[in-house]
């Protein structure tokens, strides 16, 4: 009986220690989430407007202008830029992104994958480790971006992707990431990066009449890379905020589960202790009765 009581006490101490860790991690994630949420909230409208503007310009241009980054060609080689986190303990966040990456390949690029023509650039260590282990063609050049998250480090990855597309190393590039909604909700998306998608024209709609100053070639040459840099940076900021939100939620649930487990263990401990006391009293009474007899 004493051994059983000691075992339950040890389990209670273990759960309490774990609960202290989960509560601390929740507080840290909450603090990081506030900063990450501010960053993506401020960036998103700006990035969305630039992206829409770029798609509109590409759609409105007719003949005479060659846009290398908007060139649509037969898709033989594909690049997926997969944004995950560096650390775990964030619920199903990383697993869902990895699942989407695999599903995207299976549903859209299976033929290219069978030929060995699907490459993955990872931003975040968890995705790199999981996809490498699963046998995908991964690249570790940009997996440590979250160690020094700033526009310049993301810009280097975006520029490398643009250069690879222009050199025809890839015919299509997509970004797979988690779009931040709130602390408890993320939307996992596969977003086209290159070639620059055109806006589908509605029936009867008129072409948008842009006046370009300076010349359209000069403007687009300057505009396109900057907007694409911003698009990838926005995706990484979304992923960063989603990670902290997912971890905060996961640690909150873990703390609640620890509370429930502690209640159950304390009930078990009290019952075992009560049984031990009852047994001791019974032995004392029996001994006293034997002495009197």
Q: Which residues are catalytic?
A: 90
Q: Given the DSSP bridges, would you call strands 137-139 and 172-182 parallel, antiparallel or unpaired?
A: unpaired
Quick count: other Cβ atoms within 10 Å of Cβ 267? Answer: 11
Cα–Cα distance between 206 and 224 in angstroms, integer? 24
Name which of 170, 148, 150 is nearest 81 in CA terms: 170
Q: In which element (H, E) is residue 122 found? A: strand 118-123
Instruction: Name the packing angle between helices 216-292 and 93-108 (round to 10°).
Output: 130
Name which of 69, 94, 53 is nearest 188 in CA terms: 94
Quick count: other Cβ atoms within 10 Å of Cβ 6? Answer: 10
In this structure, what token pair is assigned to residue 282? Answer: 């019974």
């Amino acid at each position: 009986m004493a051994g059983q009581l000691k075992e339950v006490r040890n389990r209670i101490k273990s759960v309490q220690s774990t609960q202290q860790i989960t509560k601390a991690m929740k507080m840290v994630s909450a603090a990081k989430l506030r900063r990450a949420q501010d960053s993506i909230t401020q960036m998103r409208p700006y990035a969305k407007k630039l992206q829409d503007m770029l798609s509109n310009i590409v759609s409105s241009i007719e003949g005479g202008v060659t846009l290398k980054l908007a060139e649509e060609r037969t898709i033989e080689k594909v690049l997926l830029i997969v944004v995950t986190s560096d650390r775990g303990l964030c619920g199903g966040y990383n697993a869902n992104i990895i699942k989407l990456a695999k599903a995207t390949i299976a549903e859209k690029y299976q033929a290219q994958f069978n030929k060995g023509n699907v490459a993955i650039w990872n931003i975040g260590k968890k995705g790199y480790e999981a996809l490498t282990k699963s046998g995908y063609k991964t690249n570790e050049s940009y997996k440590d971006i979250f160690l020094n998250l700033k526009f310049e480090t993301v810009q280097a990855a975006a520029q490398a992707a643009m250069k690879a597309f222009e050199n025809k190393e890839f015919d299509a590039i997509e970004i797979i990431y988690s779009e931040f909604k709130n602390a408890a909700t993320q939307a996992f998306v596969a977003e086209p990066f290159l070639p620059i998608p055109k806006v589908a024209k509605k029936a009867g709609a008129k072409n948008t009449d842009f006046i370009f100053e300076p010349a359209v070639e000069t403007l687009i040459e300057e505009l396109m890379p900057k907007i694409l840099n911003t698009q990838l940076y926005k995706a990484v900021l979304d992923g960063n905020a989603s990670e902290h939100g997912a971890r905060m939620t996961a640690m909150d649930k873990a703390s609640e589960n620890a509370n429930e487990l502690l209640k159950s263990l304390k009930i078990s401990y009290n019952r075992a202790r009560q049984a031990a006391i009852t047994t001791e009293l019974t032995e004392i009474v029996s001994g006293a009765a034997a002495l009197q007899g």
